[in-house]
Copies of this chain bind each other. A is one copy, B any other.
Amino acid sequence: MILIGEAINGLQPGIRQAILSRDKEVIRNLARKQVNAGAAFLDVSTGTAWPKPAEIMVWLIATVQEAVEVPISVNSRRLDVIEAGLRVCRNPVMINAATGEKEKIPLYMDLALRHKADLICLTMDEQGIPPHAVGRISIAKRIMDFSEQYGFPRNRIYIDPVLLPLKFFQAQGPIVLEAILGIAREKDAPHVIVGISNASQGMKDRALVNRTFLAMAMACGLDAIICDVLDAELTATIAAAEVILERRPYSDQYARESKKASAGASS
């Protein structure tokens, strides 16, 4: 399982404050803690509403790279912000995220190829997010067809079937599980990823929903996750699921070795 730590996000009040006061130690500390907890990538997002988001992105990435060596997942909706981030990243790196829009896929693939970046692609297009699994699987196939044309390595594509908050869109649960199963069972399947924390927005017992969904999604073929890697019960669940899927040999320490094993799995 490839763990991507989500904590460095300008939407979080603590991070927003650190950006405003250019407090590097807050950022560096959170980078170190996430890597110690098993993150193979660190997602970096400025959040919204900065007058110069590209500058914030560059500062955040530079600061993270002062503390840790793991690759960065450069997270923005704006291509110029992603590009600014990529320029200061050490390789390898990840772009979070492209969509399945026909006009945009080539731009993102081109950018990812130039920067030797992995690429997260959301299963949404000009029409939005398809309301059924089959529509998301078909956007995933379109993305894979493009990757074929571009000579983009399949194992550097991460398809994200877009998990919306279950409290408001409860049908998303079975739809996304079905989409994961469908995509993961394609021939030469790409990685399949979701952002888990979004799913439980506004729910009670969020951590329970997150770790239960994660176990279910792993059974369907999910192999990467953007999550709160500091949630010890979540990483213990990942460890148990990997033992159950026979991706990690059983030892009596399995639930306490999540860090090392997860980091190893991504390398």
Residues of B within 8 A of A174 (CB): 244-246
Interface residue A209 (Cβ < 8 Å from any Cβ of B): yes
Give Cα A177–Cα B20 distance, bound, in whole angstroms.
Answer: 49
B171 touches A246 (CB 8 A): yes
Q: Given A203-B250, A219-B220, are A240 and B209 neighbors across the interface (CB < 8 Å)?
A: yes
**A contact face: mostly helix, strand, loop, or mixed:** helix
A204 touches B255 (CB 8 A): yes
B212 touches A173 (CB 8 A): no
Q: Given A215-B215, A215-B216, A255-B204, are A173 and B246 neighbors across the interface (CB < 8 Å)?
A: yes
Q: Given A216-B215, A216-B219, are A209 and B243 neighbors across the interface (CB < 8 Å)?
A: yes
A residues engaging B (CB < 8 A)?
A: 166-167, 170-171, 173-174, 177, 203-205, 208-209, 212-213, 215-220, 236-237, 240-241, 243-246, 249-250, 252-255
28 A-B residue pairings within 8 Å (CB atoms): A166-B243, A166-B244, A170-B243, A170-B246, A170-B249, A170-B250, A173-B243, A173-B244, A173-B245, A173-B246, A174-B245, A174-B246, A177-B245, A203-B252, A204-B253, A205-B254, A208-B236, A208-B237, A209-B243, A212-B244, A213-B240, A215-B219, A216-B218, A216-B219, A216-B241, A216-B244, A219-B220, A220-B220
